[in-house]
Amino acid sequence: MSQPQTIGLSEPETPPDATPPEKLSPMLEQYIEIKTANPGSLLFYRMGDFYELFFEDAEVASRALGIVLTKRGKHQGQDIPMCGVPIHRSDEYLHRLIALGHRVAVCEQLEDPSEAKKRGSKSVVKRDVVRLVTPGTLTEDTLLDARRNNYLLAIARARLSSVGTETRFGLAWIDMSTGEFRITECDRIMLSAEIARLEPGEILISDSLNTDIELIPLWRELPAVTPLGRDVFDSATAERRLTSFFAVATSDGFGALTRLEITAAAAAVTYIERTQIGQRPPLSPPLREAVASTMAIDQATRGNLELMRTLSGERRGSLLDCIDRTVTSAGSRLLAQRLSAPLTDVNAIARRLDAVACFVDDVAARADTRSRLAAAPDLARALTRIALQRGGPRDLAAVRDGIAAAHELARALAAIKDAPDEIADALGHCRKVDFALADELGRALGDELPLIKRDGSFVREGYDAALDDNRALRDESRRVIAALQARYADETGVKALKIKHNNVLGYFVEVTALNADKMLQPPLNATFIHRQTLAGQVRFTSTELGELEAKIASAADRALGLELDIFERLCAAVIAQGNAIKQCAEALARLDVASSLAALAAERGFARPLVDDSLTFAIEAGRHPVVEQALSRDGTPFVANDSDLSPPTEAQAGRIWLITGPNMAGKSTFLRQNALIAILAQMGSFVPAKAAHIGVIDRLFSRVGAADDLARGRSTFMVEMVETAAILNQAGNRALVILDEIGRGTATFDGLSIAWATVEHLHDINTCRALFATHYHELTALSARLPRLHNVTMKVKEWKGDVVFLHEVVAGAADRSYGIQVAKLAGLPPSVIERAKVVLAKLEQEDRAAPKGFEDLPLFAANYQPPAPSSEPTHERLIAAVAAINPDEMSPREAMEALYNLKARLRETDKQ
């Protein structure tokens, strides 16, 4: 958990040591000047082949990276700390610093050192920051997870009433590495759910939002929260900044955006402009996600169901890991997007399912598609690096190979008859990129490509005549130098004479000290000019060697210059087709997802679900995809189960299943598998079942399992109650609610009472479809007066005193909990098991003698009616609540919770 930091994007701050002393070197004066202009970031200061850090930055980087801290000169009487990282390994160090929550300002040399020398011996090479590296603005493959999007999320807020009780949030998120740009709007309740869905790498908020007392706990839970000044979130200038970025006259072309959405979008692009120092990535125009267009899944539910990662935080073992059969990075990212945001539009879901069905039926097309896609590189990320001038020859090759793969795939799939809209549309985008570009790149680029363009030798021989001529002169120099060395050895009679090269002297003649006198005497001294004497060698040059060196150096420089010109020309050609390339990349990802889900369906026996606008929820022989896959490794079959939460009649709401049975019988697995099947169906995937008919679910809630939240001072029971409260306050008739063991964290009668009232609320108020697992067998009596409540149980069998779990769901209610048998299976000592049996027998005997039924208690009576709301005026209750507070006896945490409670009551007052 990281604390929000303000990055230096507005007015620069002045550090304590900003005023350099008189004796500070010109280079360090320049360093301090640049550092002062970029507060809040570690400064990577380019010096030759290293990025150096000084002063406090050096100390921070030394600790974070585990590199040696040295010193360079003195400042204010103290040694100046210094450390550095080599240029060729800078990505590795940047990744580690960003992961630790740091931000880095990259300061490059803007001229060749030789140009600085022309201005005087003490002149400093021109340098400036060319980029601010932050968690949400990464583009390098080495800094990113190829299978995940890295979103930069901007959040803007607007209060819709004078007392500020109704608040809306505008959200804009950008993956700068791919150009994806989306926006939406939500309320306070859905804010944390949207953040959980997107899992952004960095979140931008205003300073005022950062200090909002209600939201501080949320920001503290999130990594990389960046507060920014008011100017970034200024709604008055937002549209101008957004349209300026995209070079359009009005935002109308982006759709009917609200002012709040425009403010968030403008904040995101403003931040990108400032961190990229004017370089603009090829962002798509902002695409608006309509409110309620996706299934709402809150953070707790995502965690409970282990959609994207397990409870331990690993991808392995999650639903995403289980279903991911994609063969491209872009496909894997798109699959994760769809899984995190299942659709609620029946037609859009059907469109996706049609594409999967096509590949399920056409085995040859599926195999051909997957084999061709496996050779397709990450087009979108390569395009972004090229547009930001961070690309290299391999990025151009990625564009070449991606376009070629797209055209080959379009030709191969052209034979599909009556291709579904999803596939036909994708193939159309694959053909849009001009294949002549791929052909040009193929003729220009060699087979072995360097990572960095400055290394040269990436243009194919025969592509450019002038380049070939200069390369020949450069490469011929090796033979010429060898011939000159042989002639000099002959003429001097010194067989050990060598011609060598280094960066200081250039080319030079080297002989041993024993032969040096001969070279210094006439007539040889007229040809050979002494340059340097070392311990065992003496070095000379000659006029002929100097002239040859100038020709060689000039040819090498000209060759590299010509290659760089060709590189820039090719990059310009790629950027000119940027939109078509981006659409092609998206099309390849869609084809990858459709064909991979088809491969999954064929491999695991998944069936196509029927998704419509009804309230039906009927699954035949449903299975838990993750558990089934794990069991299959050992050859253990998974026991499939039916479920039916459909309304008894069309005029009624959906059913609630009350599930009883012992621990280890499979209740939690059954609960989760139904939720996962619904998610898979609405994301557009086939499902692990023999058949499934699902009426669209707009909100999914799951409270399965429990853990303490020590950071916020919440016990297991408190966490359970908070999550249950969220469900009961938000679930509507189109929601699916999964609840497991409500009330188990407190005293028996307290827990039973809470569970009882919760079931009634779900039935009478929420009117939603629900699965409710419990150990309170007393709740089964509710089915007698709640018409939509049905009792089912996990089937078990006793055998010679042990319990055998059959993992089958059958109608009825469990007659006992089998807790002692489960404890025995867990390995409790035999003495404990025997004592537990004695105690249980005694308790059951006493209960039979004096049964403790619930029928006589008012709460559990069949004719029970909820009490009418208190007639006491709301403001009087509020005054009474304030009077009951004794601040002198409260801890800071208790005072904070009391304040939140009062604010909640104030909202209720406003509503009434």
Q: Read off the pLDDT band of 163 (50, 70, 90).
A: very low
- Pair (637, 527) in one structural domain: no
- 525 within some domain: yes
Find out whether 759 and 658 touch, Cβ atoms under 8 Å.
Answer: yes
| Residue-wise pLDDT tens digits, 632-646 | 888 889 999 999 999
Asked whether residue 589 is assigned to any structural domain, the reply reads yes
When the pLDDT of each residue in the chain is averaged and rounded to a whole number, the result is 85
Residue 650's identity, in one-letter code, is E
Mean pLDDT (whole number) for 664-691:
94
Cβ-Cβ contacts under 8 Å for 674 (sequence gap 6 or more): 617, 619, 622, 643, 736, 738, 771
Question: Which one of 83, 113, 133 terminates a domain?
Answer: 133
Q: Which of 152-161, 367-376, 899-908 has the lowest mean pLDDT?
A: 899-908
Q: At what angle do helices 625-632 and 667-683 cross, to 10 degrees?
A: 110
Confidence band of 202 (pLDDT split at 50, 70, 90): very high
Are both 594 and 612 inside the same structural domain?
Answer: no
Asked whether residue 787 is assigned to any structural domain, the reply reads yes
Q: How far is CA 331 from CA 42, 345, 371, in A?
A: 35, 22, 14
Ramachandran angles phi, psi of 695, nearest 5°: -75, 140
The separation between CA 187 and the C-alpha centre of its own chain, rounded to angstroms, equals: 23
pLDDT computed for residue 871 by the predictor:
46
Shared domain check, 757 and 722? yes
Do 211 and 107 share a structural domain? no
Domain boundary among 815, 848, 865: 815
Task: State residue 72 phi and psi, 5-degree precision.
Answer: -145, 105
Per-residue pLDDT for 542 more than 70? yes
> Which of 771, 789, 815 corresponds to the end of one domain?
815
Are 621 and 739 in a shared domain? Answer: yes
* Secondary structure (H, E, C), 504-519: CCEEEEEEEHHHHHHH
SS3 for 463?
coil
Q: Which helix (H) or strand (E) holds 887?
A: none
More confident position, 363 or 112: 363
Instruction: Quote the pTM value.
Output: 0.81
For residue 56, being part of any structural domain is answered with: yes
**Per-residue pLDDT at 881:** 66
> Roughly how many angstroms between the first and final C-alpha of the chain, as a whole number?
39
Of 262, 263, 266, 157, whose CA–CA distance to 214 is shortest?
157
Hey, how many other C-beta atoms are within 10 angstroms of the C-beta on 51? 25
What average pLDDT does range 83-108 have in this prediction?
Answer: 88
Cα separation of 42 and 60, whole Å? 8
Tell whether residue 665 is among the known ligand binding residues.
yes
- Are 654 and 761 in the same domain? yes
Asked whether the predicted pLDDT for residue 849 surpasses 70, the reply is no
Under a CB-based contact definition with an 8 Å cutoff, are residues 736 and 697 in contact? Answer: yes
Mean pLDDT of the region 359-385: 93
Query: How many domains would you assign to the chain?
Result: 6
Question: By CB neighbour count within 10 A (0-12 exposed, 13-18 middle, 19+ buried), where does 593 fall?
Answer: buried
Q: Does residue 686 sit in the same domain as residue 766? A: yes
Write the pLDDT tens digit of every residue in 308-363.
999 888 999 999 999 999 999 999 999 999 999 999 999 999 999 999 999 999 99
Q: What is the pLDDT of residue 74?
A: 75
Rounded mean pLDDT, 688-692:
97
Give the pLDDT confidence score for residue 238 in this predicted structure: 93
In angstroms, the CA 324 to CA 331 distance is: 9
Give the range of the structural domain holding residue 271, as residue numbers without chain letter: 142-291
Task: Answer for the pair 730, 617: CB distance below 8 angstroms, yes or no.
Answer: no
Closest by CA to 704, choosing from 305, 368, 247, is 305
* Structure-token match 């070449």, residue found: 400
Residue 533 has pLDDT above 80, yes or no: yes
Quick check: 770 and 728 in contact, CB under 8 A?
no
Phi, psi of 519 (to 5 degrees): -75, -25
Q: How distant is the alpha carbon of residue 488 from its chain centre?
A: 64
- Which amino acid is present at 797? K
**Tokens found for residue 689:** 């079942």
Residues whose CB is less than 8 angstroms from the CB of residue 379 and which lie 6 or more positions away in sequence, other chains included: 330, 398, 399, 402, 403, 581, 582, 584, 585, 588
> What is the number of alpha carbons within 13 Å of residue 201 lying toward its C-beta?
25
Indicate the pairing of strand 167-175 with strand 225-228: unpaired
pLDDT of residue 843: 66
In a domain, 183, yes or no: yes
The answer to whether position 756 is within a domain reads yes
Structure tokens at 598: 């088809």
Q: Determine which of 94-103, 252-261, 887-896 has the lowest per-residue pLDDT on average.
A: 887-896
**Residues facing 174 on adjacent strands:** 152, 181
Check which CATH number belongs to the domain holding 51 and give it.
3.40.1170.10
How many C-beta neighbours within 10 Å does residue 272 have? 22
Residue 406's pLDDT is: 93
CB atoms within 10 A of CB 583: 18
Please tell me the distance from the alpha carbon of residue 646 to that of residue 58, in angstroms, as a whole number.
64
Same domain, 799 and 667: yes
Q: What is the CATH number of the domain that holds 263?
A: 3.30.420.110
Give the side-chain half-sphere CA count within 13 A for 592: 32
Q: What average pLDDT does the segment 377-404 reach?
A: 93
- Residue 546 pairs with which residues in a beta bridge? none
532 within domain boundaries: yes
Q: What is the per-residue pLDDT across 459-509, written as a single tens digit (0 to 9) for each?
A: 999 999 989 888 887 787 778 888 889 999 998 888 889 998 887 788 899
| Backbone phi, psi, residue 11, to 5° | -75, 125
Task: Label residues 744-767 b or e (16+ Cβ within 10 Å = b).
Answer: bbbeeeebbbbbbebbbbbbeebb
pLDDT at 873 over 80: no
CB-based contacts of 166, cutoff 8 Å, min separation 6? 159, 160
Query: Is there a contact between 641 and 809 (Cβ–Cβ < 8 Å)?
Result: yes
Q: Could you tell me whether strands 529-533 and 127-133 are parallel, antiparallel, or unpaired per DSSP bridges?
A: unpaired
Same structural domain, 732 and 661: yes
Beta-ladder partners of 11: none
CA distances in angstroms from 517 to 526, 529, 542, 604, listed in the order given: 13, 12, 16, 85
Instruction: Tell me the percentage of the chain whose pLDDT exceeds 70.
Output: 85
428 annotated to a ligand binding site: no
Same domain, 645 and 594: no
Q: What is the DSSP letter of 319?
A: H
Q: Are residues 376 and 331 in the same domain?
A: yes
For 482-503, the DSSP string reads HHHHHHHHHHH--TT-EEEEET
Q: Residue 688 maps to which CATH number? A: 3.40.50.300
- Tokens for 616? 């039906």
Q: Report the alpha-carbon distance of residue 778 to residue 772 in Å, rounded.
A: 13
Q: What whole-number distance in Å separates Cα of residue 338 and Cα of residue 351?
A: 14
179: annotated binding-site residue? no
Is residue 298 in a domain? no
754 in the same domain as 612: yes
| 237-251, 691-705, 867-881: least confidently modelled range | 867-881
Residue pair 881/908 in contact (Cβ under 8 Å)? The answer is no
Is residue 35 within 8 Å of residue 43, measured between CB atoms?
Answer: yes
Report the SS3 class of residue 254: helix
Is 666 annotated as contributing to ligand binding?
Answer: yes
Among 305, 312, 153, 290, residue whose Cα is nearest residue 218:
153
| Choice among 41-55, 312-326, 439-453, 839-853 with the minimum mean pLDDT | 839-853
**d(C-alpha 258, C-alpha 251), whole Å:** 10
Place of tokens 């010193």: 71
Number of helices and strands in the chain (H, E):
30, 27
